[in-house]
Structure 1
Amino acid sequence: MIYLVIFVILFVAELLYFRVADRFNIIDKPNERSSHTTVTLRGGGIIFYLGALAFFIISGFQYPYFFLGLTLMTIVSFADDIMTLSNKIRLAIHFLSVLLMAYELQVFSLPWYYLAITFVVVVGVINAYNFMDGINGITAAYSLAVGSLLLLTSHHINFIDQDLLIYTMLSVLVFAFFNFRTKAKCFAGDVGSVAIAFILLFALAALIIQTGNLIYILFLAVYGIDAVWTIIRRLYLKENIFEAHRSHLYQYLGNEAGVNKLLISFLYGAVQFLIGLLVLQFVDQSVSTQVVFAIGLLAVLSAAYLVGKGYVIGKYVN
């Protein structure tokens, strides 16, 4: 019953945010690099933070350092949605927020390189998650896939309070109702993509630390393949990888090839969920078996990505 109440509260909160966004003109205007053609409300992904806030209050303020880091991330990202902030300011807040997450996860009690790895991975994935938020429904579909995998795993391994994942998934469902449409009512904005990435990474990091098993990072394999190969290609073409662009595979499929964008978003989430289920079959295998599986999986995904992207570029771009 409490979950239904929380869902209704989050739904109403999203509607109230729409009124605020409309009143203060918090909108996303299409440009030459956009995948949309109409003015749309921006920042609807703030609901992810509100879902975590509901958990934080109801749980008796559990995970305070994580939540403080999430709050800082949300504030700076929302500000960046309204006005363009300096990269130095955003990076400083990201650094502080990751340190707070690491402290919550007790990474400081581990060898120093764990902190370095945590910082690089978390900041990298957050930025990749932000770059991948480029068509209707993709953030919602992918986050539901990853969150569902983490929630499924939590039934067997006690690595995090399940309610944090449940409240987060409820907020994603609310967002999906308004975003998973041909004509979206709102976009997640930086505040949404950054917040949901931070929450999911916190849970994923807790799982990896609890089990000592890195194979769970494959819960992010689909985004990882698209983001990494896109960066490699842009570096090869001597492009600025920090500038907005439309060169991810999902963007080529939706914009140049004309594939239904909601279908693309659904497939990104569905493929990731299926990969996650496959990963769960290997968690109890030997390390050598897991390494062979991970290399094979990434090789297959890379081949599919490169062949698919090469075909689309060759037929619809060149």
Structure 2
Amino acid sequence: MEFLIVTILLFISILIYFKIADKYNIIDKPNHRSAHTQITLRGGGVIFPITFIIFCLINFKETIHEYWVFGLGLLLICVISFIDDIKTLSNRIRISVHFISVMLLLYFTHTFNLFPVEAWPIFFIMIIGTLNAYNFMDGINGMTGIYSLITLLTLFFINKDIIHFTHDNFIIYPILASLVFLFFNFRKKAKCFAGDVGSMGIGFWVIALITLLIMKTQDYKYILLLTVYGMEVVLTIVERLLLKENILKHTEDIYTSF
């Protein structure tokens, strides 16, 4: 019953957001690099930070002490990303907030306690790079949602049957959010795209889960859960290079969707 109620709340939330996005013209206009050809609502991924808020409200006693650091990092990166969906921000502001959010993520996963200071920059680079990869691929119907859903389902299986590394609901809730998002995104004519807020939000959540798993097991093979998505990003970049596109033109391109 809990999960049914959560799913209904998520559907209501995203439908309300569609009304707001339509009223304030929060849209994604296709350009010569786009995988889509029609104007589409942007920011449907706002459902992911909303999901965390619902997660906290329903599981308040179990989550308030354990997950508030993660929540702060998630909300910070989602708020700045949502603002960027509406109005382009300077790279300095975005990168600064991303840095703070990643720092909170590493604190949440106890990475700072388990690794020497000289290893910290490596984690910052890897996490920020992975977040940008998530953001880079938004705009292809179903891609962000499907890859995230498969990864989350895999993490849920590992958590249930191999090694328990986090609260079950901390994985189930983003699974429900991914399903609701895919209902509107995974279709021939997408109703919405995740936008910066969505790709950064779900990317942040997935990275946090994988990092928790790695810290729990000290087994780095679990980073391979991101391999397929990473290969898609690499192949997309290679394709653009073959087409002689300047992928570094406008630094903000790595922070915005197609």
- Alignment partner of 1:69 out of 67, 73, 77: 73
Relative contact order, higher structure (CA 8 A, sep 6+): 2
Match of residue 307 from structure 1 = none
1:165 equivalent to 2:171? Answer yes
Correspondences of 1:276-295 after superposition (within 5 Å): none
Q: Please list the CA deviations of residues 126-182 of structure 1 after superposition, one character each: whole Å capped at 9, or x if unmatched.
A: 000111123111111111111111111101211111101101010111101111110
1:39 equivalent to 2:39? Answer yes
Larger Rg: 1
Match of residue 17 from structure 2 = 17
Match of residue 105 from structure 1 = 109
- Alignment partner of 1:216 out of 216, 222, 228: 222
Match of residue 194 from structure 1 = 200
Correspondences of 1:1-318 after superposition (within 5 Å): 1-60=1-60, 61=64, 62-110=66-114, 111-155=116-160, 156-228=162-234, 230-231=236-237, 239-241=246-248, 242=251, 244=253
Cα displacement (A) at 1:57 = 2.3
Cα displacement (A) at 1:23 = 1.0
Cα displacement (A) at 1:234 = 6.1
Number of aligned residue pairs: give it: 246
58 and 113 in structure 1: CA distance in 2 versus 1, 3 angstrom threshold? farther
Cα displacement (A) at 1:228 = 3.5
Distance 1:68 1:243 in 2: 24
The unaligned stretches of length 5 or more in structure 1 are 246-250, 252-318
Letter in 1 for 2:46: I
Identity across the alignment (%): 48
Distance 2:120 2:177 in 1: 30
TM-score for the superposition, normalised by structure 1: 0.73
Distance 1:201 1:8 in 2: 26
Letter in 2 for 1:74: C
TM-score for the superposition, normalised by structure 2: 0.89
Distance 2:166 2:179 in 1: 21
Instruction: Indicate the SS of the match to 2:44.
Output: coil
Q: Please list the CA deviations of residues 101-127 of structure 1 after superposition, one character each: whole Å capped at 9, or x if unmatched.
A: 111112221212442222111101000
Distance 1:97 1:45 in 2: 18
**Aligned residues: CA RMSD:** 2.0
The unaligned stretches of length 5 or more in structure 2 are none
Q: Please list the CA deviations of residues 213-268 of structure 1 after superposition, one character each: whole Å capped at 9, or x if unmatched.
A: 010011011121232355467679683434649xxxxx9xxxxxxxxxxxxxxxxx
31 and 229 in structure 1: CA distance in 2 versus 1, 3 angstrom threshold? closer
Q: Please list the CA deviations of residues 52-84 of structure 1 after superposition, one character each: whole Å capped at 9, or x if unmatched.
A: 221122222241111100000000100110011
Letter in 1 for 2:147: Y
